[in-house]
Structure 1
Amino acid sequence: MKKYITLALLLISASASKLHAQQEAMYSQYMFNTLAINPAYAGSRNVTSATALYRNQWVGINGAPETVTFSIDAPLNSKKVGLGLQVFNDKIGITKTTGAFASYAYRIRLQKGTLAFGLQAGASQYRADFQNVSLNPDPSNDVAFNQNVNKVLVNVGTGIYYNTDRFYIGLSSPQLLNNKLTNFTVETSNVFNGQALHLFFATGYVFPLSDVFALKPSVLVKGVKGAPIEADLNATLWIKDVFAIGLQYRTKADISAMVEIQASPQIRLGYAYDRSLTKLVQFNNGSHEIMLRYEFGFEKGKILSPRYF
């Protein structure tokens, strides 16, 4: 049974047909990996910030998604400019995508917060090992599996982002070009085997409840042409700005539990565990996600307000 599930997963992800299912890598701790979806986020933390994130999705299913990403960003020119870099490796089934994107944000200081406009550009290598798929009957006459894919895809993205110490809101499209993923076409249909434009809307706010507790709800809405709109609804309770526990609901997909630790002014650790709410729950043991963030430039003894985003 696992063999058939794996094949279905890779076909949905790799073919990128006219259904245009979600193609961008998925993260439960999206609020710590905002640069991956919005280039205008670069420099918003006002210090040089580096974040590494590893996600192992649907443990127990062969060929399930596995993603590693690293990003670093910093403010420049009296914090009027933000620069960022992200590198990633995303695997699912017989497909593997490795790439890097550079981000630029122009930041405008307003009375209560900062408004930023961002651009990003980069390239990724997309590989699909179609010839290694075991099919029954003999797939020798199936042109869709006769040739592997190895393509370099250049893309650009844009976004807008506004934030204060306790609030943020952003709208972005990280990849604007509809690159074709394969050379295989079906003349009798209008199937498009390519990258689809994605739109992301994200917002969050921190409500101080007392000197000890703070509640941080956040929302990420994801849209792609031809697929249902998906939303991640998150709520995290911070305790003394050091330890946090949270829950997240991904519409018609998963529920997640999260833990965050501010180990020092420079180091933050995060962990998320997802459990499927679909029939996939019968075939996997959940998803695991680990996050590590390190921030440079703190002066010894200097007290800084907590950075929640």
Structure 2
Amino acid sequence: MIRIGFIIGLLLWCTTTQAQQRPHYSQYLQNMSVLNPAVTGLNKGMDLRLGVRSQWQGLKDAPKTGYVTFSTPISFGGDMANYRSSDLGVSEPVTKDDMYDYTASMPHHAFGVLFLNDKTGPLNRVTGNLTYAYHLAVGERANLSIGVGLGASRLGLNSSALLFEEEGDPTVGGGGEINKYLPDLNAGIYFYGPTFYVGASMQQIIKNSVAFDGNFNVGKEVAHYFVTVGNQFWINNNFSVTPSVMLKVVNPLPKAFDLNLKFSYNNKLWIGGGYRKDDAFFGTFGFSVANIVVLGYTYDYTTSNLNTVSTGSHELTLRVLL
């Protein structure tokens, strides 16, 4: 008989096998590239970001996610060959006065990488992507980028953690780690300026089978669609408020959304919160040091039926601009 902890985890996975298969992120605003490859190379210089998320604390075998992204604009070919990478991309306005001085980046290429590790009980997905984006200037104060991420995932099942009534159940083989390697393809588009952004992306374009046994073909990946919109409003020269929303479409689930509100001082210190439909309320805060190192933390208060066994979720992000 399968142990109770794994039943909960397996039910969560089986539910998401036909629905939500990608991790939740409460701090996606701090690392939009986990959702949209078109954000690759948006900022000046090299951009390194790391994040960890512990979902549903108190629930045995609950999801744990870690990720690393790196991107940089690249100057090569034609007129771009005469520019340094640090001349390309944009810098976020720190004050309202900076907003008026904001100019669009010159058209440029950008490359990056993404590594993601997502573990739920005995199931573990490791994904590696190479990302590319091209940023085109639209007028003097806006850019439009189109991006793609291509790589592979290793979906692993630790069958030794499973206990069956019949030893050596053929559904998962004879025990030990069972791995399945899958291609991964994502794409997106992003329109942005000094105070606004609008993005759309699609993940898991290739709908791979996720069955671990050739005779068991029920599980299959489904496409995930994301739409993100946000705008920063300056209260005075130093303080701003940024409302934003993310719409998520994963058939056959109902459409889901995140609502966010962020209050910021000079884009160096911020506090905010949000609501994820039928899942959680969350609060977040963060700060930057010399506009080079940025730290952020979010706590989710679970509002679904899991709140009877979970004390919430924690997420921590680190960003380093080189």
Q: TM-score scaled to structure 2, two decimals?
A: 0.83
1:281 matched to 2:307? The reply is: yes
Q: Within 5 A, what are the aligned runs for 1:4-15?
A: 4=4, 6-13=6-13
In structure 2, the partner of 1:144 is 171
Structure 1 residues 15 and 278, CA gap change in structure 2 (3 angstroms): closer
Q: Within 5 A, what are the aligned runs for 1:1-309?
A: 4=4, 6-13=6-13, 16-17=16-17, 20-77=18-75, 78=80, 79=88, 80-111=108-139, 112-135=141-164, 138-140=165-167, 143-146=170-173, 149-184=178-213, 192-296=218-322
CA contact (8 A) 1:95 1:128 kept: yes
User: 1:108 and 1:240 mapped to 2: Cα distance?
Assistant: 27
Structure 1 residues 206 and 59, CA gap change in structure 2 (3 angstroms): same
Shift of 1:26: 1.3
User: 1:73 and 1:195 mapped to 2: Cα distance?
Assistant: 27
SS at match of 2:112: strand
In structure 1, the partner of 2:100 is none
Structure 1 residues 11 and 144, CA gap change in structure 2 (3 angstroms): farther
SS at match of 1:144: coil
Structure 1 residues 291 and 116, CA gap change in structure 2 (3 angstroms): same
User: 2:281 and 2:114 mapped to 1: Cα distance?
Assistant: 27
Q: How many residues align?
A: 287
Q: What amino acid maps onto 1:284 in structure 2? A: S
CA contact (8 A) 2:228 2:244 kept: yes
Identity %: 27
Q: What amino acid maps onto 1:178 in structure 2? A: K
User: 1:21 and 1:144 mapped to 2: Cα distance?
Assistant: 22
User: 1:184 and 1:156 mapped to 2: Cα distance?
Assistant: 23
CA contact (8 A) 1:12 1:21 kept: no
Structure 1 residues 103 and 263, CA gap change in structure 2 (3 angstroms): same
Shift of 1:174: 2.5
Shift of 1:263: 2.0
User: 2:166 and 2:243 mapped to 1: Cα distance?
Assistant: 50
Structure 2 gaps, min length 5: 81-87, 89-107
Shift of 1:6: 4.3
List per-residue Cα deviations over 1:256-282 (Å, max 9, x = no partner): 010010122111110000010012111
Shift of 1:144: 3.4
User: 1:95 and 1:133 mapped to 2: Cα distance?
Assistant: 11
SS at match of 1:12: helix
Shift of 1:5: 5.6
Q: What amino acid maps onto 2:315 in structure 1? A: E
Shift of 1:15: 7.2
Structure 1 gaps, min length 5: 297-309
Q: What amino acid maps onto 1:24 in structure 2? A: R
CA contact (8 A) 2:239 2:263 kept: yes
User: 1:195 and 1:260 mapped to 2: Cα distance?
Assistant: 34
User: 2:179 and 2:200 mapped to 1: Cα distance?
Assistant: 31
Q: TM-score scaled to structure 1, two decimals?
A: 0.87
CA contact (8 A) 2:268 2:291 kept: no
SS at match of 2:26: coil
